[in-house]
């Protein structure tokens, strides 16, 4: 195949923001090339530079052996199908398609011939006189394609042309576009953020990220042998786990050694290991290479998508004391008042200004009158010190209704999990059966009541607590003490299976050496 377009070290920035960081790319004749990447990765900018609508800051574009940097857009033998079609609203379908030919001052009979051929290519014969603004999205799309192709360009640029269509129409247009490309036999450069679109249509996919090309390859290469975790995540569903390359064909992850088909890594090189969800087979626990528990099941139509946890996360268990509260009545004022004992972290007293309002909310202190109307608590007095110990706090209303509860200042032990780099903390707490019964989202409320938090030990960024375990029935809880365990996400594998499983099932996961793909770690610039 002949090389048609060559981007040489293209650099482009907008307002100091570098959008393209030196892109090199060759595109050949008759290829269907897809520029794939998330929005803002620079794919549309690259397309616009080729179309002549933007000028690069550095680098050269070679088209058919000639440098076209100084050639204005209207002189380039390239045509574009725009994102929102950009059809001329004052012209009908026929005149829209004929636009480029009229500019070239072709004869009416030749124009008619060419336009009619295009209309039948895009299946719009009979639509000549229609008003383009009254056409459906799919039809407008076809007019836009015909309007570009009628000029017989060497290259057709398509800037996310299917983005505005609904799913069914999009699939139809994908097939249609592929057919048109094969029929006219010219180079199509297609820009999209939709990986499925890229996989189904392209001869070659260029995966872009943050102004750089991550990988260039056929759809099969990109899917089966992604260059790095970024590409693997972007194309298809993936499980990516940290591993260490022990030797050629030997990789260690999830505390086990595995055989693989990859080689050429440094010894002991930290790597990303990719296993596609469809390559994991669900088997009996004893038969699996890995064992775990089903945490989540989603029905996807053809298959189920399971989340299987093979290793639990970092956890912390606390005690929940369920006590029935006795409201104190101030008959004279016609008021009632209640509050809970509570625990406070001595570090919080040290580091945060705890206000009276904070104490009121932790103690769940409230007062109300005979008609059940809330009364504000205007007086709070306490002898709390920062040292661990038991103190008292008194809440009172304007009319002198008061309640006194115990405050346990403690220095809780954090669980620090150096292997996962995660710290987690939670406090014991007091609660009434009523509050548990009234809870709409018990897991979330338990996290709040226990002040449960998890964080990254390195940078202190918060880590989500995904698991809250308890063994009481929230609808029918009795007084007493209960264990509550909070845990972060462990090692979870996404699995696609047709087998029907329930959350909580123990399963084994099986896979072979060829299902493992080892990738170099991304060099992340910090």
From candidates 1, 14, 75, 392, binder to other proteins by CB under 8 A: 75
For residues 80 and 239, which CB has a smaller minimum distance to other proteins in the complex? 80
> Shortest CA distance to 391 belongs to which of 354, 351, 366, 424?
354
| Closest CB 84 distance from other proteins, rounded Å | 6
Distance between CA atoms of 97 and 222, rounded to whole angstroms? Answer: 36
User: Binding segment for other proteins among 98-106, 331-339, 435-443, 457-465 (CB under 8 A)?
Assistant: 98-106
From candidates 55, 57, 67, 90, binder to other proteins by CB under 8 A: 90
Assess 499 for contact with other proteins (CB under 8 A). Answer: no
User: Pattern of binders to other proteins over 274-303, x per CB under 8 A?
Assistant: ------------------------------
Q: CA torsion 326→331→335→340, rounded to 10°?
A: -20
β-pairing, 78-81 vs 155-159, is parallel
For residues 90 and 521, which CB has a smaller minimum distance to other proteins in the complex? 90
For residues 14 and 88, which CB has a smaller minimum distance to other proteins in the complex? 88
Assess 1 for contact with other proteins (CB under 8 A). Answer: no
Tokens of 426: 């939670």
User: Binding segment for other proteins among 47-55, 230-238, 305-313, 319-327 (CB under 8 A)?
Assistant: 47-55
From candidates 2, 70, 104, 168, binder to other proteins by CB under 8 A: 104
From candidates 5, 20, 33, 52, binder to other proteins by CB under 8 A: 52
* Inter-residue contact 10 to 22 (CB < 8 Å): yes
From candidates 16, 89, 264, 301, binder to other proteins by CB under 8 A: 89
| Closest CB 187 distance from other proteins, rounded Å | 16
User: Binding segment for other proteins among 45-53, 271-279, 328-336, 374-382 (CB under 8 A)?
Assistant: 45-53
Assess 100 for contact with other proteins (CB under 8 A). Answer: yes
For residues 50 and 431, which CB has a smaller minimum distance to other proteins in the complex? 50
Give me the phi and psi of 491, to 5 degrees please.
-85, 120
- Strand arrangement of the beta sheet that strand 342-345 belongs to: 342-345, 402-410, 389-397, 377-382
Residue-wise over 369-384: b if at least 16 C-beta within 10 A, else e?
A: beeeeebebeebebeb
* Inter-residue contact 485 to 315 (CB < 8 Å): yes
Assess 360 for contact with other proteins (CB under 8 A). Answer: no
N-terminal to C-terminal alpha carbon distance within the chain: 41
Give the helix/strand (H/E) hosting 413. Answer: none
The number of residues making up the chain comes to 526
Site for other proteins in 143-162 (CB under 8 A): 147-148, 151
The three-state (H, E, C) secondary structure of 56-82, written as one string? CCEEEEEECCEECCCCCHHHCCEEEEC
User: Binding segment for other proteins among 32-40, 74-82, 217-225, 310-318 (CB under 8 A)?
Assistant: 74-82
User: Binding segment for other proteins among 91-99, 336-344, 372-380, 406-414 (CB under 8 A)?
Assistant: 91-99
For residues 147 and 204, which CB has a smaller minimum distance to other proteins in the complex? 147
User: Pattern of binders to other proteins over 117-146, x per CB under 8 A?
Assistant: ------------x-xx--------------
Count of beta carbons in the 10 Å neighbourhood of residue 458: 8
Tokens of 457: 């030990």
Eight-class DSSP state of 513: G
Helices 167-184 + 108-121 axis angle, to 10: 130
From candidates 99, 368, 455, 482, binder to other proteins by CB under 8 A: 99
Assess 511 for contact with other proteins (CB under 8 A). Answer: no
Tokens of 313: 């996360």
For residues 97 and 468, which CB has a smaller minimum distance to other proteins in the complex? 97
* Inter-residue contact 205 to 31 (CB < 8 Å): no
| Closest CB 201 distance from other proteins, rounded Å | 22
Site for other proteins in 53-72 (CB under 8 A): 53, 72
The greatest distance separating any two alpha carbons of the chain, rounded to the nearest whole angstrom, comes to 102
From candidates 86, 184, 323, 333, binder to other proteins by CB under 8 A: 86
Radius of gyration over alpha carbons of the chain, in Å?
33
Give the count of residues interacting with other proteins (CB under 8 A).
Answer: 31
Give me the phi and psi of 71, to 5 degrees please.
-85, 125
Tokens of 205: 């996919």
- Strand arrangement of the beta sheet that strand 250-253 belongs to: 256-259, 250-253, 239-247, 269-275, 517-520
> Shortest CA distance to 23 belongs to which of 58, 52, 70, 51?
58
User: Binding segment for other proteins among 73-81, 163-171, 204-212, 350-358 (CB under 8 A)?
Assistant: 73-81
| Closest CB 450 distance from other proteins, rounded Å | 53
| Closest CB 81 distance from other proteins, rounded Å | 9
From candidates 44, 56, 79, 239, binder to other proteins by CB under 8 A: 79
- Secondary structure of residue 33 in the 3-state scheme: strand
| Closest CB 120 distance from other proteins, rounded Å | 20
What is the residue-wise DSSP string for 155-166? EEEEESTTTTS-
From candidates 11, 62, 71, 91, binder to other proteins by CB under 8 A: 91
| Closest CB 255 distance from other proteins, rounded Å | 55
Where on the chain is the footprint of other proteins (CB under 8 A)? 51-53, 72-75, 78-80, 82-84, 86-92, 99-100, 102-104, 129, 131-132, 147-148, 151
């Amino acid at each position: 195949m002949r090389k048609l377009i060559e981007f040489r070290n293209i650099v482009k920035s907008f307002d100091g923001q570098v959008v393209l960081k030196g892109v090199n790319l060759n595109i050949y004749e008759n290829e269907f090339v897809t520029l794939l990447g998330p929005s803002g990765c620079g794919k549309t900018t690259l397309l616009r530079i080729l179309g002549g609508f933007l000028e690069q800051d550095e680098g050269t574009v070679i088209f058919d052996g000639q440098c076209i940097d100084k050639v204005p857009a209207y002189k380039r033998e390239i045509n574009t199908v725009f994102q929102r079609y950009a059809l001329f609203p004052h012209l009908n379908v026929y005149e829209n398609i004929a636009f480029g030919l009229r500019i070239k001052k072709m004869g009416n009979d030749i124009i008619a011939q060419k336009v009619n051929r295009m209309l039948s290519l895009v299946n719009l014969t009979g639509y000549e006189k229609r008003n383009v603004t009254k056409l459906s999205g799919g039809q407008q799309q076809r007019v836009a394609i015909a309007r570009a192709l009628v000029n017989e360009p060497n290259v057709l640029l398509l800037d996310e042309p299917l983005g505005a269509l609904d799913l069914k129409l999009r699939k139809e247009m994908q097939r249609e576009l592929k057919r048109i490309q094969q029929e006219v036999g010219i180079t199509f450069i297609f820009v999209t953020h939709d990986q499925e679109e890229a996989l189904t249509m392209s001869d070659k996919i260029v995966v872009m990220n943050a102004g750089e090309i991550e990988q260039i390859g056929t759809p099969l290469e990109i899917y089966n042998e992604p260059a790095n975790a970024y590409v693997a995540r972007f194309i298809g569903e993936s499980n990516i786990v940290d591993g260490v390359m022990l030797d050629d064909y030997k990789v260690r992850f999830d505390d086990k050694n595995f055989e693989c088909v990859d080689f050429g890594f440094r010894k002991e090189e930290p790597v990303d290991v990719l296993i596609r969800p469809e390559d994991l087979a669900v088997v009996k626990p004893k038969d699996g290479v890995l064992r775990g528990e089903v945490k989540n099941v989603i029905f996807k139509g053809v298959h189920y998508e399971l989340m299987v946890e093979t290793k639990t996360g970092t956890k912390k268990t606390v005690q929940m004391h369920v006590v029935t509260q006795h409201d104190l009545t101030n008959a004279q004022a016609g008021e009632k008042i209640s509050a809970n004992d509570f625990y406070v972290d001595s570090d919080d007293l040290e580091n945060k200004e705890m206000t009276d309002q904070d104490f009121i909310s932790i103690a769940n202190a409230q007062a109300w009158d005979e008609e059940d109307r809330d009364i504000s608590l205007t007086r709070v007095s306490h002898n709390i010190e920062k040292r661990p110990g038991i103190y008292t706090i008194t809440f009172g209303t304007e009319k002198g209704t008061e309640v006194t509860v115990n405050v346990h200042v403690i220095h809780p032990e954090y669980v620090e999990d150096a292997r996962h780099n995660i710290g987690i903390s939670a406090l014991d707490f007091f609660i009434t059966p009523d509050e548990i019964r009234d809870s709409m989202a018990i897991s979330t409320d338990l996290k709040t009541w226990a002040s449960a938090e998890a964080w990254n030990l390195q940078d202190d960024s918060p880590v989500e607590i995904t698991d809250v375990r308890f063994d009481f029935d929230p609808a029918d809880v009795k007084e007493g003490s209960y264990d509550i365990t909070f845990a972060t996400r462990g090692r979870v594998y996404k699995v696609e299976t047709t087998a029907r499983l329930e959350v909580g099932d123990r399963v084994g996961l099986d896979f072979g050496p060829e299902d493992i793909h080892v990738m170099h770690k991304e060099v992340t610039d910090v």
